[in-house]
């Protein structure tokens, strides 16, 4: 017998879900609200929630003090190029693991994932030194490669899961129809996996956009993305919460808007293969 | 042209040899059916010919050219899969045109051939639909269309009808046979259904545990099965086997007689038995008869109106000229 779901129970579930959702969203909301306060109101005790003098002053100051557009451009380039590069490398890798698996495929997948368990700081020193030696500190290209590499395991895993859902017979049919390996991947596999590739692309763009460890440690001016932009507002002479919040809001706004419009793909991407 | 030769071909998966050394010759224009129970290696054999699996040893030649190392795309064969394996993101037109596109034919020629194939297969009205919007039979036709536009040296069918319902299966069977008459191209067809094999084939290859038990025309296999396995596999309902006293009388370990070669009478006959279940098909009635000395039931075909009920005693008289004798190894004694 199916479990009877009463109206009351439904209402309760809705209330709980909304509470948890708001709880998770609250820090972001608070940041956005704070960005419209004066510095005094920002640190007022007890804190003011909605009834304060709304001001855009912080945004004006932030815009004046630092070049937002340069950081934004860097973020877009770093996240975008590293994601696309990662996809280009991961598609053939995931293809081979999904369709011509060897005895060691599972091990390789786990090993790749295990690199994500390594604390990044553990390799900071060698990578930092490497960057100095190669003269690529604060260099966009170097950062693109590093971001691509740290996200590659996730990209391969996600694509692998998607590709596994595609019946091998269809690829065999393509082979029988005279398709070369390139044709098979380009005209058959990729179009069939477009939803999967799209959500992988989105998720990894967000991960690369939010990545703060390497972007903060390996950049100063030229290659610095929005994470560095936010960090520059926590100065040793004291925190200016309202300005920091304004900077944060400006940094997360693009990705928040993008995430809002693509939430369907994202949810599908994250839960893919979980239920079947 | 589509002359395919397999010479000492073997296939192993790891330690397990699924196909021991095997020789086979398929002539141009022949309709060859690989038949056998599940897991007998018939699909593997087809995939070896297609090039989707690599042979472990041995040689495959297609039209006199060595094909063992040639990738599937270059063998000039077309395949129809059990699951149809259509490209879900392409329209019917694009599906059928795909092999032509891969062969880089110009668009005008592609369209001409696609439309010709669609006409033959009654798909003209569906060319702009996607596979998801088609019924099972239509999907199978698209898969066949995709195979015929290439004008291949041979067609390979891997249990193409097993996903269709019974009525549709009969129709498609006729359509494929007709297609073979029209195109006059070599066709290799894999099935576990001996009725499909009997009705469609010029030549049947009976496989059992990767070994070819017998190769021959449907009637050759029916009349002169080489061994007990083939005798039992070909023909429906299957041949009855009698061991013991009756067999010894005829100098055999075992004798076989088909249900249609046994006379039944309520009064007298060679063997006495008791009627178990009777299956009335209208045109025929199949009686399951319990007989002393026979382990399983005997199946006997009688006319549609035969009035025997459960528990009745009947007398059976086999047609002596249609009796098959088998030795201790299961080989048929001529």
Q: Which CATH architecture has domain B4-232?
A: 3-Layer(aba) Sandwich (3.40)
* Domain assignment present for A53: no
* Interface touch B81/A172, C-beta < 8 Å: yes
Number of domains chain A is built from: 1
B252: Cα separation from own chain's centroid: 30
ipTM of the complex: 0.84
B36: Cα separation from own chain's centroid: 7
* Domain assignment present for A248: no
Chain A nearest C-alpha distance from B83 (Å): 8
* Domain assignment present for A17: no
Which of A167, A170, A177 has the CB atom closest to B102's CB atom?
A177
* Interface touch B52/A175, C-beta < 8 Å: yes
Average confidence (pLDDT) over A69-83 = 92
Query: CATH number, domain at A84?
Result: 1.10.3720.10
pLDDT confidence bin for A141, thresholds 50/70/90: very high
Chain A nearest C-alpha distance from B121 (Å): 19
Low-confidence ranges of chain B (pLDDT < 70): 293
Whether the CA torsion A127, A132, A134, A135 is positive or negative: it is positive
Q: Return residues 137-166 of B near A (CB < 8 Å).
A: 146, 150
Q: Return residues 49-88 of B near A (CB < 8 Å).
A: 50, 52, 71-74, 77-79, 81-83, 85-88
Whether the pLDDT of residue A273 is over 50: the answer is no
DSSP letter string over B158-189?
A: ESTTTTS-HHHHHHHHHHHHHHHHHH--EEEE
Contact of A181 with chain B, judged by CB distance below 8 Å, is answered with no
Tally C-beta pairs within 8 A across A and B: 61
* Domain assignment present for A124: yes
* Domain assignment present for A122: yes
Which chain A residues have a beta carbon less than 8 Å from that of B71? 175
Say which CATH superfamily domain B237-333 falls into.
Nucleic acid-binding proteins (2.40.50.140)
Cβ–Cβ < 8 Å for B35, B41: no
Residues 6 or more apart whose Cβ sits within 8 Å of residue A253? none
Give pLDDT tens digits for B95-130: 999 999 999 999 999 999 999 999 988 899 999 999
pLDDT confidence of residue A274: 43
Residue whose entry in the numeric block shows the structure tokens 């925190």: A239
Chain A nearest C-alpha distance from B143 (Å): 9
pLDDT, greater one: A275 or A115: A115
Domains in chain B: boundaries: 4-232, 237-333
Residue whose entry in the numeric block shows the structure tokens 């067999």: B247
pLDDT confidence of residue B295: 75
Which structural domain range is residue A209 located in?
Answer: 66-232
Q: Return residues 138-177 of A near B (CB < 8 Å).
A: 167, 169-170, 172-177
* Domain assignment present for A84: yes
Evaluate if pTM is beyond 0.90.
no
Whether the pLDDT of residue A232 is over 60: the answer is yes
Helix (H, G, I), strand (E, B) or coil at A7: helix
Chain B nearest C-alpha distance from A188 (Å): 7
């Amino acid at each position: 017998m199916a479990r009877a779901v009463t109206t009351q129970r439904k209402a309760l579930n809705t209330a709980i879900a909304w509470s948890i959702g708001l709880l998770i969203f609250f820090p972001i909301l608070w940041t956005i609200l704070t960005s419209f306060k004066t510095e005094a109101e920002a640190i007022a005790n007890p804190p003011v929630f909605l009834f304060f003098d709304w001001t855009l002053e912080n945004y004006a100051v932030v815009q004046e003090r630092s070049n937002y557009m340069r950081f934004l451009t860097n973020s877009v380039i770093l996240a975008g190029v590293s994601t696309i590069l990662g996809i280009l490398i991961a598609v053939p890798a995931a293809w081979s693991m999904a369709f011509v698996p060897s005895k060691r495929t599972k091990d390789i997948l786990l090993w790749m994932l295990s690199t994500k368990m390594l604390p990044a700081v553990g390799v900071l020193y060698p990578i930092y030194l490497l960057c100095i030696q190669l003269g690529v500190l604060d260099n966009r290209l170097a950062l693109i490669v590093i971001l691509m590499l740290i996200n590659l395991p996730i990209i391969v895993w996600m694509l692998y899961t998607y590709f596994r859902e595609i019946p091998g017979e269809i690829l065999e049919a393509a082979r029988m129809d005279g398709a070369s390996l390139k044709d098979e991947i380009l005209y058959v596999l990729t179009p069939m996996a477009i939803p999967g590739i799209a959500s992988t692309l989105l998720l990894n763009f967000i991960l690369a956009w939010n990545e703060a460890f390497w972007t903060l440690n390996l950049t100063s001016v030229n290659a610095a993305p929005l994470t560095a932009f936010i960090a520059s507002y926590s100065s040793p002479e004291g925190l200016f919460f309202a300005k920091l919040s304004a900077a944060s809001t400006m940094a997360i706004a693009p990705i928040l808007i993008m995430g809002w419009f693509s939430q369907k793909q994202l949810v599908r991407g994250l839960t893919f293969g979980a239920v079947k | 042209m589509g002359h395919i030769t397999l010479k000492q071909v073997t296939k192993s998966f790891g330690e397990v040899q699924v196909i021991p050394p095997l020789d086979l010759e398929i002539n141009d224009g022949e309709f060859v059916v690989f038949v056998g129970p599940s897991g007998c290696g018939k699909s593997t054999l087809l995939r070896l010919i297609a090039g989707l699996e690599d042979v472990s040893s041995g040689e495959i030649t297609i039209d006199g050219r060595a094909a063992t190392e040639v990738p599937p795309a270059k063998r000039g064969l077309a395949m129809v899969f059990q699951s149809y394996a259509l490209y879900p993101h392409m329209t019917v037109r694009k599906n059928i045109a795909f092999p032509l596109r891969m062969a880089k034919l110009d668009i005008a020629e592609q369209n001409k051939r696609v439309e010709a194939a669609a006409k033959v297969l009654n798909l003209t009205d569906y060319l702009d639909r996607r596979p998801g919007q088609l019924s099972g039979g239509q999907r199978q036709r698209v898969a066949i269309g995709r195979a015929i536009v290439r004008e291949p040296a041979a067609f390979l069918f891997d249990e193409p009808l097993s996903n269709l319902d019974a009525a549709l299966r009969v129709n498609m069977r006729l359509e494929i046979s007709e297609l073979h008459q029209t195109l006059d191209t070599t066709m290799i067809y894999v099935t576990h259904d001996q009725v499909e094999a009997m009705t469609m084939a010029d030549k049947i290859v009976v496989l059992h545990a990767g070994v070819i038990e017998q190769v021959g025309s449907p009637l050759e296999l029916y009349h002169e099965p080489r061994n007990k396995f083939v005798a039992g596999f070909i023909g429906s309902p299957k041949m009855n086997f009698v061991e013991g006293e009756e067999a010894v009388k005829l100098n055999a370990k075992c004798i076989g007689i088909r249900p249609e070669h046994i006379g039944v009478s309520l009064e007298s006959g060679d063997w006495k038995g008791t009627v178990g279940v009777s299956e009335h098909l209208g045109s025929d009635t199949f009686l399951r008869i319990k007989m002393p000395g026979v382990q399983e039931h005997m199946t006997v075909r009688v006319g549609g109106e035969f009035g025997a009920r459960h528990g009745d005693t009947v007398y059976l008289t086999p047609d002596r000229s249609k009796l098959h004798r088998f030795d201790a190894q299961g080989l048929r004694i001529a």
